A and B are shown apart, each in its own frame.
Chain A
Amino acid sequence: MLGKIIKNKQAVIGLIMIIIVLIAAVLAPVIAPNDPMKVNITKKFQNNSSEYPLGTDQLGRCVFSRLVYGARYSLGIVIPILLVVALLSIILGTSAAYVGGKFDRIFILISDMVMAFPPLVIVLALVGSLGQGILNLAFAMIFSVWVWYAKVVRSYVLIEKNKDYVTAAIIAGSTDKDIIIKHIVPNILPSLIVFFSTGVAGMILMISGFSFLGLGIEAGTPEWGAMLSGAKQYIYSRPYMIAYPGICILFTAAGFNLFGEALRDIISP
Chain B
Amino acid sequence: MLRTINLGRDYYVKDKNGSKTKVEAVKNVCLTLNENNSYSLVGESGSGKSTLAKLIMSLEKPTTGEIYLDNKNIALMRKKQLRILRSDFQMVLQDSYSALNPKMKIYDSIAEPIRNFEKLTLIQEKETIESLITKVELPVSSLKKYPYQLSGGQQKRVCIARAIATNPKFIVFDEAVSGLDVTVRKKILDLLLKLRSDIKSTYLFITHDIDVAFYMADNIAVMKDGEIVEYIKNIKSLNGFKHEYSRMLIDSLPPLYPKQRDYQEAI
Contact = CB atoms under 8 A, between A and B. Distances in A.
Nearest to A165: B101
Interface string A109-125: 00000000000000000
B102 A187 contact: yes
B103 A186 contact: yes
Interface residues of A, number: 17
Majority SS at the chain A contact face? helix
Nearest to B95: A164
A169 B117 contact: no
Interface stretch (A66-74, A127-135, A144-152, A172-180): A172-180
A167 B93 CA distance: 9
B99 A172 contact: no
Contacts of A186: 101, 103-104
Contacts of A174: 112, 116
Contacts of B101: 165, 169, 182-183, 186-187
B57 interface: yes
Contact of B113 (A163, A173, A182): A173
A9 to B, nearest CB: 26
B83 A175 contact: yes
Contact of A163 (B98, B104, B159, B166): B98
A168 interface: yes
Given A172-B112, A173-B113, A167 B59 contact: yes
B86 to A, nearest CB: 4
Interface string B84-116: 101100110101001111111000000011001
Interface in B22-81: 57, 59
A147 B91 CA distance: 38
A164 B93 contact: yes
A171 B95 contact: no
Contact of A164 (B57, B99, B113, B116): B99
B126 to A, nearest CB: 18
Interface string B154-165: 000001001000
B82 to A, nearest CB: 9
A172 B84 CA distance: 10
Contact of A173 (B83, B95, B99): B83
A173 B103 contact: no
Contacts of B95: 164
- Find the residue from A167, A173, A187 having the highest chain B CB count within 10 A: A173
A207 to B, nearest CB: 34
A186 B116 CA distance: 19
Nearest to B165: A172
A193 interface: no
Contacts of B102: 165, 187
Contacts of A170: 59, 86
Nearest to A168: B99
Contact of B99 (A167, A175, A178): A167
Contacts of B162: 168, 172
B93 A168 contact: yes
A172 B116 contact: yes
Contact of B57 (A163, A169, A171, A175): A171
Nearest to A166: B101
B69 to A, nearest CB: 14
B113 A165 contact: no
B110 to A, nearest CB: 10
Interface in A183-202: 183, 186-187
Contacts of B117: 173
Contacts of B84: 173
B159 to A, nearest CB: 7
A248 B16 CA distance: 54
Contacts of A172: 86, 90, 112-113, 116, 162
Nearest to A187: B103
Interface of A: 163-165, 167-175, 178, 182-183, 186-187
6 contacts: A163-B98, A165-B101, A168-B99, A171-B90, A173-B116, A175-B116
Interface of B: 57, 59, 83-84, 86-87, 90-91, 93, 95, 98-104, 112-113, 116-117, 159, 162, 166
